[in-house]
Structure 1
Amino acid sequence: MIFDLALIWALLIATAVFLYVVLDGFDLGLGILFPLARSKTERDVMMNSVAPVWDGNETWLVLGGGGLYAVFPLAYAVLMPALYAPIMAMLIGLVFRGVVFEFRFKARPERQWIWDIAFFLGSLTAALAQGIALGAIIQGIEVEGRVYAGGWLDWLTPFSIFTGIAVATGYALLGATWLVWKCEGPMQEHFRGKALVTGSLLLVMIGIVSLWTPSLHPQFAARWFEFPQILYTAPVPLMVLALAALLFASLRSGRDVVPFLASLGLFLVTFIGLGVSLFPYVVPTSITLWEAAAPDSSLKFLLVGAAVLIPMILAYTAYAYWVFRGKVRPGEGYH
């Protein structure tokens, strides 16, 4: 049996990116929602709900970025110069947010507001930068002779700005539904309301991006609107509507876990829709997976390491969430 190593690695990196988006997405969402907390106690509970797991969530970002560098070096060499500004903004935001986790509880009460602002700005900056980078990739990157041929600000367009706002809104929904799951009482009801608002906004934004994306490239439009491709792509919007209905119904019925799972489902289905649009390109619409891939010998060697590393990451991630399961109450957690 002959294995398509480039395709296998594309699926592994896509999985790592998706796991980063949903796992780090909800704690970025907490930061975005931080100004909406009604008291210091609520802000403490918000941070304590993710303090044991936030750093492990970012492991998947390292795996996705490092995997792209090692497995698809041509794509890495083209994408990085095109996206220097949003990627650097994302990293700076993540650094600020990480520092806040370590220093906020140690700060004197009269100075804690500084760290609260840093947590909000770092989270919002990272979320917007990730969405802008995504939008810049979808709209296409100018390539000539296997190198980036665009300018410093090609990433900054109305489409990329809108996708940045959409990703930040999606993260806010993940954060709100996470708090619905992890909190109780008035705080839970407060963020249940925020989940209804952010969920409604996200659904509208998904619709706009879904209609906007096919207009960027003829290949995208053909894949979504021409027969027989539409037979394979039609289930994606139908599943989005079904999951949105589940999300709103579970929020209104007072469920705890289901809203968060429905939000994760929305991210999964839209991620699959993105893959349907982009495949087989890793740099739309210039470089395919196979053109960007490293030699098979390198892919085989790296696959052995991934076979050991990925199960270990999954195991300790699952163990951390199991140990810190349950509700988070005021006064509990790290101080």
Structure 2
Amino acid sequence: MGIDTSVIWAVIIYFAVFMYVLLDGFDLGIGILFPFVKGKRERDTMMNTVAPVWDGNETWLVLGGEGLLAAFPVAYSIILSGLYLPLIFMLVGLVFRGVAFEFRFKAREGGRHWWDKAFIGGSITAAFFQGVSLGAFLDGIAVSGRSYAGGVLDWIAPFPILAGFGVIIAYTLLGSTWLIMKTEGELHARMVQVAKPFALLLLGAIVVVSIWTPLRDPAVADRWFTFPNTLFLAPVPILVLLSIALLLGSLKGKPHRWPFVAALALVFLGYTGMAISIWPHIVPPYITIWEAASPPASQGFALVGTLLILPIILMYTLWSYWVFRGKVKADAGYH
């Protein structure tokens, strides 16, 4: 029995996209949280918590996109054609956020507020259109043969828009719990206040998506609600409820790491539920990973290099976060 390189590549791409959502999620969440904090000192602290690591987070987005091109070129052409505009808007948001990140600290006092606005706008735009792209992907992309058959604005629909706001909520929660772990004093207390309602909003968004998706797609309903699948998949919703309980409980007293751990668990479970719902399709609901795959020789050739570089990316990511662990102060940096 040979090795199924299509399955291996699907796992690599899912993992890369998840790592991007995980790492850049709280990064973008900090920009979304800027309107909740007005003081320059506090905003400086917020940005300093991710200043040493933020630009490495996009590595995972590049890996996921290039992996899709190398391993599943049919899916790449269809998805990029169908989601061209929201992905462009997402990239524009990331550009504004990145430029504002660098220029804000160099701006004169009177002009800094423009870079603050660019940072906020870029973060919200990137997060929203990431959600819109995800929602349009899950909603189904029109396909004719091996080509995109829809229109330029097919992504403007209720479910993608809902997903856009859902991602903003998720990133805001990740950002607030990250800052709970990394800051002290008034900013820490403010983030505890912000995290509570956004935890409940995220739970509401998960419930809405969990109801909407199977009602819209009978195949998803069969995947989740037929025996014995229901028994095997029951841990996912149970763990979601336990994670919410852990998150809300850990926000009492003097929270530190556990709110962030619980928020990560919620994002992971939501992402896992999505993967379960669409598997093995890579262009839902029409094209599977095997139908979209490049020739086995091409997948194998690209896989060798990817399996060599992937541990290196993981190691430098873990090392950078380990080096810059601990609390951050506006004047003193890490300690």
- TM range, smaller chain: over 0.9
1:210-234, Cα deviation, whole Å (9 max, x unpaired): 1001122110111112222212222
The match for 1:183 is 183
> What is the one-letter code of the residue matched to 1:86?
P
> What is the one-letter code of the residue matched to 1:161?
I
> What is the one-letter code of the residue matched to 1:226?
T
> What is the one-letter code of the residue matched to 2:212?
W
Structure 1, 324-333 or 17-26: larger mean CA deviation: 324-333
Unaligned runs of 5+ in 2: none
The match for 2:211 is 211
> What is the one-letter code of the residue matched to 2:231?
L
The match for 1:274 is 274
In 2, the alpha carbon distance for the partners of 1:323 and 1:37 equals: 27
The match for 1:201 is 201
1:242-277, Cα deviation, whole Å (9 max, x unpaired): 111001101113220111011111111111100110
The match for 1:22 is 22
How many residues in Structure 1 have an aligned counterpart in Structure 2? 334
The match for 1:165 is 165
SS in 2 for 1:100: helix
Q: CA deviation at 1:333?
A: 4.3
Unaligned runs of 5+ in 1: none
SS in 2 for 1:277: helix
SS in 2 for 1:176: helix
The match for 2:132 is 132
The match for 2:43 is 43
Contact 1:223 1:233 in 2 (8 A): no
Contact 1:34 1:120 in 2 (8 A): yes
1:143-186, Cα deviation, whole Å (9 max, x unpaired): 01110101111111111100100011000000000000000111
In 2, the alpha carbon distance for the partners of 1:255 and 1:46 equals: 17
Structure 1, 176-185 or 294-303: larger mean CA deviation: 294-303
In 1, the alpha carbon distance for the partners of 2:75 and 2:182 equals: 39
The match for 1:62 is 62
Contact 1:95 1:122 in 2 (8 A): yes
> What is the one-letter code of the residue matched to 1:222?
D
Is residue 101 of structure 2 the alignment partner of residue 106 of structure 1? no
> What is the one-letter code of the residue matched to 2:216?
L
Q: CA deviation at 1:330?
A: 1.5
In 2, the alpha carbon distance for the partners of 1:70 and 1:215 equals: 34
Is residue 272 of structure 2 the alignment partner of residue 303 of structure 1? no
Q: Which runs of 4+ in 1 moved over 3 A?
A: none
**TM-score, scaled to structure 2:** 0.98
SS in 2 for 1:282: strand
In 2, the alpha carbon distance for the partners of 1:317 and 1:197 equals: 31
Contact 2:73 2:294 in 1 (8 A): yes
Contact 1:29 1:176 in 2 (8 A): yes
Contact 1:176 1:191 in 2 (8 A): yes
Contact 2:236 2:273 in 1 (8 A): yes
Is residue 118 of structure 2 the alignment partner of residue 118 of structure 1? yes
Q: CA deviation at 1:38?
A: 3.2
> What is the one-letter code of the residue matched to 2:128?
L
Contact 2:213 2:220 in 1 (8 A): yes
Is residue 331 of structure 2 the alignment partner of residue 331 of structure 1? yes
In 1, the alpha carbon distance for the partners of 2:41 and 2:28 equals: 19
Contact 2:173 2:195 in 1 (8 A): yes
Contact 2:48 2:330 in 1 (8 A): no
SS in 2 for 1:240: helix
SS in 2 for 1:106: coil
SS in 2 for 1:3: coil
In 2, the alpha carbon distance for the partners of 1:22 and 1:328 equals: 20
In 2, the alpha carbon distance for the partners of 1:78 and 1:329 equals: 46
Q: CA deviation at 1:28?
A: 0.2
In 2, the alpha carbon distance for the partners of 1:119 and 1:24 equals: 14
The match for 2:75 is 75
Contact 1:127 1:168 in 2 (8 A): yes
In 2, the alpha carbon distance for the partners of 1:204 and 1:154 equals: 26
In 1, the alpha carbon distance for the partners of 2:83 and 2:8 equals: 25
Contact 1:48 1:332 in 2 (8 A): no
* Aligned ranges 1:5-16 → 2 under 5 Å: 5-16=5-16
The match for 1:243 is 243
Contact 1:173 1:199 in 2 (8 A): yes
Is residue 329 of structure 2 the alignment partner of residue 322 of structure 1? no
